[in-house]
Structures are given as C-alpha cells and as structure tokens.
C-alpha cells in the first residue's frame, strides 16, 4: 500500500530510472509528487473558438492538424503547422523545430496555448512556439483526462517523457489509489473552525477541479482547495517562527548601558538633526540593546531615508560600552563608502575611535593585519563585506552587527561563530530599503522586530523623471553639461560592462518554450535571429566615446564590478570629493551609494531594468536639497511590459507604490527577485499573493501556541509536522 512518504519510484508507471530523475528535481516521495501542483489550467470544456481570437492575448485553443512543413531557412529550420477548426485556421511556428518533424499527423486533435499574434500576411493569426499537447488518445489511454473538462497543466519534470500529460495521468491514478488514505495534517478543530476542506479533498480538487470551478479563481490559486493547502503551509511557517521567537527571548545577549556619556558621544558626531522617524527608530533599537536578550531587528526605510546614521548611532552605543561593532555591506563599493563616511563622522569625535575595513579583494597582508587588529581588540568599528564571515574573522568583543541590505538571512546564524563563547550573543540590526508592506515584513522576517523610517530628511524636492528615446541622446548630454555647469554631478548607468551581444535574454522577450520540447534540443537551439537583440551600449565603451565626444572636457570616471577594490575606492572617493563630474557606471552603484551633490541620474537602456532596480538607481539622486532629475533613456525595442515599468517610474517616486505596481506587472512569483535569495522555498504559498492568508496563519499560530486546540494525538501530529516542514523547507530563514 502506498503512503505519502513512499519513495516515488514505487508509484505505478514510475520505477527506479524515472524515480531517479524525479528525485533530481526534488520529487522524492509520493507527497512531493502530489504537491507538484498545476501552474495553470485550461478550460477544455469551453475552448476558445479560433474565430474569436484577439491579437496580443494568451489563448488556449483546440484544433485539428491540417498540415505541417519544415522550412529550411538560412538562419535556422522552422517547423510550421496549420491547425484548423471549421473554416478557421491558425498558423503555429517553432524555431529550430526539426525535432517536431515527425510528431504530428494530419487529423490529430491538439490543445495549444500561446500568445496570439497577427500573421505576416495580415490575414488570420499565428502563435510562435505555443505549448502543445496531442489530444488523440493512445490506444491504452482513455481520453477522460485531456478533454471535456478543466485540465491541469504542470511544469514538466524533465525530459520529453515527464510531460504535463504524463504527470496528469500519474497523479490521477495516484489519487485514485490513495483514496481515503491521505492523512489530515491540521488539527481537526482548526479545520472545522475555519471551514476548510480536508487535505485529501483539497489535493484532489487542485489537481482535477470539479466542472464549474471559476477559471479566474483557479488561475489565481484562489479556490477553497488552494487556499486550504496554502494556509496549511503558512500555518507551519508561522508556528515555527512563533516558537522560535519565544525561545529566542530566553537567549543571553548583552545589556548595553546608555549613560549620559553615550549620549554625549552621539551628539558629538551627529551632523544634522535626526528626523522624528530616525529618532523613534533609534529609540526602539536602543531599548532592544539595553535588554539582556539579543536584538534581532529590521530597520526598513525607502531609498535615501537615512538609515545609515541610525545604524552608526547604535554602533556608538555598543562601542561606548566597551564592545566592538561591525557593519556588513552587500558590495565592496558600499563597504568602502560606509568606511569613508564613518571615518569622516567619527573623526569629529574627541574620542579616538579605531576603524578597520575588511573586504575580500584587499591584499592578503592587509587582510591579515585587519584580522589581527580585530582579534586583539584594536578595532572598535569594523566595516566590511561578506568577507567578515568568509575570512573567519574572530572578534575580541563583538557587541553589535549591522547588516546592510539583502543578505541571506542564513548568515545570521554564522555570526555566532564570530564571538568568543564566553560572551553574550551580539545584537543584530538588519537594514533594508526593500519596500515590503509592514504586515508582510513582520510575517516574513517573523523572528525580527521591525522599525520603519517612513519619512525623508527635510528639504528634499521630488525628483523629476523623464523617459526619452536615445534618439534624443544629444539633448540628454547637453542637460548633463548644464547640471555640471551648475556645480552638480551626474551618473550615467549602463546594463553591461562591455559591449557584446547580450546573452541574457530579458524575460519579456524570451520566446516561450514549447512545453513538450525535449531538453536536449532546447539547449542546442540558439536564440532565433528574430529575437536577437542589437548590441547593448556598455559602460566601458560609452565612457571612451562620451569622453571623446558628447561630454568632452568634463571630468569623467568609470566604475564597474571588475575593477579591483583599490580602483573602486579611488573612483568613489574622487566622485565623493567632487573631483569627477560624471560617473559612468554599471549597476554596482545600485544600492546605498550616497553623494548628495549628484543631481542627475541617466539610465541607458532603461527598458532592460526591473522596477525595483530603477527605483534603487534613481534613489542615488535627490539626496540633498538641490533639485534632482532622472532620465530613463531607452534604446531598441521596448516591450509593452517595459513601457509599463517606465510609465510607473515616471508617475511615482514612492517605493511602496512601485512595489505594488511591480507586483501587478510581474505577478507575485517574480516580486522578490533574486536579491531576496534566502526566502523559504514554498510548495504552494506565495508570500505576496497570499498576504491575507499569511495574516490568518500568523494569528492562528500564535493562538495555537497560547492554547493548543485538539486532542493529544492532534497536538503530537502538529509537532511532528512542524519538524518535517521546517527541516525540509525553511532552513534558510533561520535567524540566529
């Protein structure tokens, strides 16, 4: 008898060989397979008539193969197929489609899914590389699953065998076999109180939705069945976080003192009056630091809101109590900048603070010296990159760690290694500019407390943002000259360091992959000529060309990730001191760079950048009192999605609004992007889409910890399930 924990190879139709390849995809057990949920659905009970297609839309259609041909063009072979339905027809094309040559026969029924485009002749429509499924049943299969119902579509599990159709059949049979044997994993009382379907019922309807389930609900994972599975997953996440939070409060940290002497030390270095948001954030941080349990706090504030000085003040509290404080930045450039800024501020103090920089690309003997000073307690403030963890730095007396932006939260655990075992655990403050809504942040970084800077320093004027095509580049360069003429500085940002064909296709342009396309040919297939992009303008070349041409006579600097850290430091220092007028750069300046005299940000190929990235880049200007500008210059093809992103940038400057827009444009899956690596890997839930369920799960988890519901057996089940869920899924969220 199969159980959920049974090895997937024992499922009928799988066996050891396929079992192996499934395991490589993370599907090891029957349960894993059941949680490989459809990523969309097709209503094949009511397929869209070919005569009603509209260009630009994604459509799901059913039709009959009328004819196929393999065109050998000079660039590549193209497989063309005409699909008909009554008197209407649709042309489908696959680039490098030789492998499809013998797959289709006239008369076969197909289900197709793809973007409708006008055909070149102007009559009728075509689809380029649609997903395709042959509907004519093989002899040994019934047609039941493929037509006349709402059909689940799965992400392929690899190869041309483990297709959506294959998964559908295997899961269907599996659900039949398991009938009545899928154990409930939530306490019964909870299921009843929230009126949820039981687990088995939920899984069944998610894979094979009953007729009449609204398609929009299905596509949005919003059916009751989906919600039940999502809730379950989030409940266990929140339960774990809640327990951790409680356990954490019992750990031993350092209780810092804030005497008049400390306050005086802070007053000595403060270059301006803090905003009231900065004051209250610092108040919260210091209150944490005074407590004997270790601090874990997230300081969130939009670009330019002034997080750095808050962190520096907290660092002074630690130092004045005789401890060391460390700041870890996400890039070398930023580490260097923080180092220079901290030095400048702390030099104003009558106390002689000792500051050390430690980044990966420093010379070995410099690093050795830095490490030894840190170990001997000859450094009060240590500023660095990830190297602080990687280089096995040991601190004499570490009291506070500030982590700037976007590090994997897993690193927090490793801080424990950096202190001597006899001391209390250091406090940790994480700074982020990622505009996550407050409730979401709280649930997401469940075991961090949250402080928000929701106010910009005084005197800022809104940044004027304009979108222009690079055909008007001359005007833009003229404007750069004007700004420099007024004593200001400018950034010009490029998507790549060096020109060459861009080998990272932007998502918006990437041709959709044929669902049944075998992996091998997918790898071999080069980007079809149609999709090749013109050469991108690149930082190094544009630096030369601007220097000799449009910006001749101005002092230009070049900055990118491939310079070594000395070079980066020199360039940044010169830009900061105003010895460079225009900094030509890649996105290395994206986060944190702070030169208030810079008033103009020009982003070339702005169509290539994501919203969050552009927002961060634009945040490099408007950091002082002078009026600032952002020019989004586009070159080449601008997809409709890119157009929307650019319009959003022009219409608002508020990080939270942009995040919401981003969410709508890209869909929840992409929202956090790669920079939020370290987020737990969910099977069903999506933290952005399912915000409201997350809240519910959080409340229910707290309630459960406070007064567990259900029988002893159910409580035991919850404990077991919790352990499993955390071990398998959320290892990375561990914070401290």
Among 306, 435, 446, 622, binds ligand ATP (CB under 6 A): 306
Piece of the chain touching ligand ATP by CB under 6 A; list 224-232, 272-280, 352-360, 440-448: 272-280
User: Burial letters for 17-53: b for 16+ Cβ neighbours within 10 Å, e otherwise?
Assistant: ebbeebeeeebbbbbbbbbbbbebbbbbeebbebeeb
| Bridge partners for 81 per DSSP | 68, 92
Among 481, 623, 645, 689, binds ligand ATP (CB under 6 A): 623
Q: Are 403 and 328 in contact (CB under 8 A)?
A: yes
Q: Are 620 and 589 in contact (CB under 8 A)?
A: yes
619 binds ligand ATP (CB under 6 A): yes
Q: Are 167 and 157 in contact (CB under 8 A)?
A: yes
Smaller CB separation from ligand ATP, 153 or 490: 490
Question: What residues from 383 to 412 belong to the interface with ligand ATP (CB under 6 A)?
Answer: none
288 binds ligand ATP (CB under 6 A): no
Minimum distance of ligand ATP from residue 595's CB (angstroms): 8
Q: How many residues bind ligand ATP (CB under 6 A)?
A: 20
97 binds ligand ATP (CB under 6 A): no
Helices of type H across 403-527: 411-414, 438-444, 473-485, 519-524
Smaller CB separation from ligand ATP, 65 or 591: 591
Minimum distance of ligand ATP from residue 591's CB (angstroms): 6
How many angstroms separate the most distant Cα atoms in the chain?
A: 88
Q: Are 624 and 487 in contact (CB under 8 A)?
A: no
Long-range (24+ apart) CB contacts under 8 A made by 19-24 are 21/157, 21/158, 21/159, 21/162, 22/157, 22/158, 22/162, 24/158
Minimum distance of ligand ATP from residue 620's CB (angstroms): 7
39 binds ligand ATP (CB under 6 A): no
Smaller CB separation from ligand ATP, 39 or 272: 272
Which residue is listed with tokens 């919203």? 611
594 binds ligand ATP (CB under 6 A): yes
156 binds ligand ATP (CB under 6 A): no
Smaller CB separation from ligand ATP, 156 or 434: 434
Q: Are 303 and 433 in contact (CB under 8 A)?
A: yes
515 binds ligand ATP (CB under 6 A): no
Smaller CB separation from ligand ATP, 185 or 331: 331
CA distance 492 to 586: 8
| Bridge partners for 58 per DSSP | 115
Question: What residues from 430 to 489 belong to the interface with ligand ATP (CB under 6 A)?
Answer: 433, 457
Query: How far from each other are the two terminal CA atoms of the chain, in whole angstroms?
Result: 42
Piece of the chain touching ligand ATP by CB under 6 A; list 271-279, 385-393, 484-492, 534-542: 271-279
Minimum distance of ligand ATP from residue 438's CB (angstroms): 17
Minimum distance of ligand ATP from residue 676's CB (angstroms): 15
Minimum distance of ligand ATP from residue 420's CB (angstroms): 31
Minimum distance of ligand ATP from residue 633's CB (angstroms): 22
613 binds ligand ATP (CB under 6 A): no
Q: Are 290 and 255 in contact (CB under 8 A)?
A: yes
Minimum distance of ligand ATP from residue 614's CB (angstroms): 13
554 C-beta neighbours (distance < 10 Å), count: 18
Phi and psi, residue 443, nearest 5°: -80, -30
Minimum distance of ligand ATP from residue 177's CB (angstroms): 54
111 binds ligand ATP (CB under 6 A): no
Q: Where does 73-143 show beta strands of DSSP type E?
A: 77-85, 88-95, 109-118, 125-128, 131-134
589 binds ligand ATP (CB under 6 A): no
Piece of the chain touching ligand ATP by CB under 6 A; list 158-166, 299-307, 650-658, 697-705: 299-307
308 binds ligand ATP (CB under 6 A): yes
272 binds ligand ATP (CB under 6 A): yes
**Whole-number Cα distances in Å, 354 to 136, 395, 401, 438:** 76, 14, 16, 37
Smaller CB separation from ligand ATP, 299 or 554: 299
Piece of the chain touching ligand ATP by CB under 6 A; list 43-51, 305-313, 653-661, 696-704: 305-313
304 binds ligand ATP (CB under 6 A): yes
Backbone CA torsion sign across 201, 203, 208, 209: positive
303 binds ligand ATP (CB under 6 A): yes
Name the strand (E) or helix (H) holding 616: helix 611-618
Helices of type H across 355-453: 364-376, 387-390, 411-414, 438-444
Piece of the chain touching ligand ATP by CB under 6 A; list 31-39, 69-77, 256-264, 591-599: 591-599
Minimum distance of ligand ATP from residue 596's CB (angstroms): 5
Minimum distance of ligand ATP from residue 611's CB (angstroms): 16
Smaller CB separation from ligand ATP, 435 or 446: 435
305 binds ligand ATP (CB under 6 A): yes
Among 29, 223, 275, 331, binds ligand ATP (CB under 6 A): 275
Nearest Cα residue to 318 out of 408, 394, 253, 390 = 253
732: its two tokens: 């990375």
Among 8, 206, 309, 428, binds ligand ATP (CB under 6 A): 309
Piece of the chain touching ligand ATP by CB under 6 A; list 273-281, 345-353, 477-485, 537-545: 273-281
CA distance 658 to 634: 20
Q: Are 480 and 572 in contact (CB under 8 A)?
A: no
299 binds ligand ATP (CB under 6 A): no
In the three-class reduction of DSSP (H, G, I as helix; E, B as strand; rest coil), residue 599 is classed as: strand
Smaller CB separation from ligand ATP, 253 or 619: 619
The CA-CA-CA angle for residues 709, 715, 717, to 5°, reads 135
Q: CB nearest ligand ATP: which residue? A: 306
274 binds ligand ATP (CB under 6 A): yes
Minimum distance of ligand ATP from residue 135's CB (angstroms): 53
Question: What residues from 522 to 581 belong to the interface with ligand ATP (CB under 6 A)?
Answer: none
Burial class of residue 333 (count of CB atoms within 10 Å of its CB; 0-12, 13-18, 19+)? buried
Piece of the chain touching ligand ATP by CB under 6 A; list 274-282, 345-353, 419-427, 642-650: 274-282
Q: Where does 406-488 show beta strands of DSSP type E?
A: 427-432, 449-453, 464-469
Minimum distance of ligand ATP from residue 211's CB (angstroms): 51
Give me the residues that bind ligand ATP (CB under 6 A), please: 272-275, 278, 301, 303-309, 433, 457, 592, 594, 596, 619, 623
């Amino acid at each position: 008898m199969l159980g959920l924990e049974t090895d997937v190879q024992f499922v009928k139709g799988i066996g050891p060989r396929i079992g192996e390849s499934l395991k490589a995809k993370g599907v090891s057990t029957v349960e894993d397979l059941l949680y490989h949920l459809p990523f969309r659905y097709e209503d094949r009970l009511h397929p869209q008539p070919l005569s009603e297609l509209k260009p630009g839309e994604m459509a799901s259609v059913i039709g009959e193969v009328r004819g196929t041909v393999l065109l050998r063009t000079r660039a590549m072979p193209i497989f063309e197929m005409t699909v008909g339905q009554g008197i209407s027809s649709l042309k489908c094309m696959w680039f490098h489609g030789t492998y499809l040559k013998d797959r289709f026969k006239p008369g076969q029924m197909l289900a197709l899914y793809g973007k409708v485009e006008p055909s070149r002749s102007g009559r009728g429509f075509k689809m380029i590389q649609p997903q395709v499924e042959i509907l004519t049943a093989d002899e040994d299969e019934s047609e039941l699953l493929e037509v006349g119902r709402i059909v689940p579509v799965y992400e392929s599990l690899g190869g041309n065998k483990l297709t959506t159709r294959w998964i559908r059949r295997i899961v269907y049979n599996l659900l039949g076999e398991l009938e009545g044997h899928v154990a409930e994993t939530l306490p019964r009382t909870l299921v009843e109180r929230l009126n949820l379907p039981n687990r088995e019922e939920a899984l069944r309807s998610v894979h094979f939705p009953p007729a009449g389930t609204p398609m929009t609900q299905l596509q949005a994972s919003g059916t009751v069945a989906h919600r039940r599975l999502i809730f379950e997953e989030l409940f266990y996440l929140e339960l774990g976080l809640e327990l951790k939070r409680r356990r954490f409060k019992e750990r031993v940290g350092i209780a810092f003192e804030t005497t008049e002497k400390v306050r005086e030390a802070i007053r000595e270095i403060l270059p301006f009056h803090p905003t009231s948001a900065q004051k209250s954030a610092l108040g919260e941080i210091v209150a944490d630091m005074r407590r004997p349990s270790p601090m874990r706090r997230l300081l969130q504030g939009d670009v330019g809101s002034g997080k750095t000085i808050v962190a520096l003040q907290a660092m002074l509290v630690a130092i004045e109590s005789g401890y060391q404080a460390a700041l870890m930045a996400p890039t070398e450039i930023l580490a260097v900048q923080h180092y220079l800024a901290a030095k400048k501020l702390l030099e104003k103090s009558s106390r002689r603070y000792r500051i050390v920089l430690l980044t990966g690309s420093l010379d070995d003997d410099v690093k050795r010296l830095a490490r030894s000073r840190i170990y001997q307690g000859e450094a009060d403030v240590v500023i660095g990159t990830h190297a602080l963890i990687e280089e096995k730095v040991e601190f004499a007396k570490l009291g506070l760690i500030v982590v700037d932006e976007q590090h994997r939260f897993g690193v927090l655990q490793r801080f424990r290694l950096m202190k001597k075992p006899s001391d209390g655990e250091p406090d940790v403050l994480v700074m982020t500019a990622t505009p996550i809504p407050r409730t979401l942040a709280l649930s997401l970084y469940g075991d961090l407390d949250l402080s928000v800077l929701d106010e910009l320093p005084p005197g800022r004027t809104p940044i004027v943002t304009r979108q222009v095509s690079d055909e008007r580049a001359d005007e833009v360069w003229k404007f750069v000259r004007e700004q420099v003429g007024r004593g200001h500085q400018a950034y010009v940002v490029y998507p790549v360091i060096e020109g060459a064909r861009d080998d990272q296709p932007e998502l918006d342009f990437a041709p959709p992959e044929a669902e049944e396309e075998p992996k091998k040919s997918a790898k071999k297939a080069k980007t079809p000529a149609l999709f090749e992009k013109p050469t991108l303008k690149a930082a190094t070349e544009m630096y030369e060309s601007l220097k000799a041409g449009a910006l001749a006579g101005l002092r230009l600097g070049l900055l990118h990730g491939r310079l070594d850290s000395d070079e980066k430091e020199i360039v940044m220092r010169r830009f900061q001191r105003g010895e460079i007028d225009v900094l030509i750069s890649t996105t290395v300046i994206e986060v944190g760079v702070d030169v208030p005299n810079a008033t103009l940000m020009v982003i070339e190929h702005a169509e290539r950048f994501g919203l969050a990235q552009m927002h961060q880049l634009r945040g490099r200007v408007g950091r002082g009192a002078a009026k600032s500008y952002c020019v989004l210059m586009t070159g080449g093809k601008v997809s409709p999605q890119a157009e929307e992103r650019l319009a959003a940038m022009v219409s608002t400057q508020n990080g939270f609004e942009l995040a919401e827009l981003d969410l709508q444009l890209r869909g929840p899956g992409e929202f956090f992007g790669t920079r939020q690596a370290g987020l737990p890997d969910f099977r069903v839930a999506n933290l952005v889409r399912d915000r409201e369920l997350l809240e519910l799960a959080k409340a229910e988890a707290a309630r459960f910890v406070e007064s567990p519901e259900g029988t002893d057996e159910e409580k035991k089940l919850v404990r077991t399930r919790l352990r499993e869920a955390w071990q398998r899924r959320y290892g990375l969220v561990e914070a401290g």
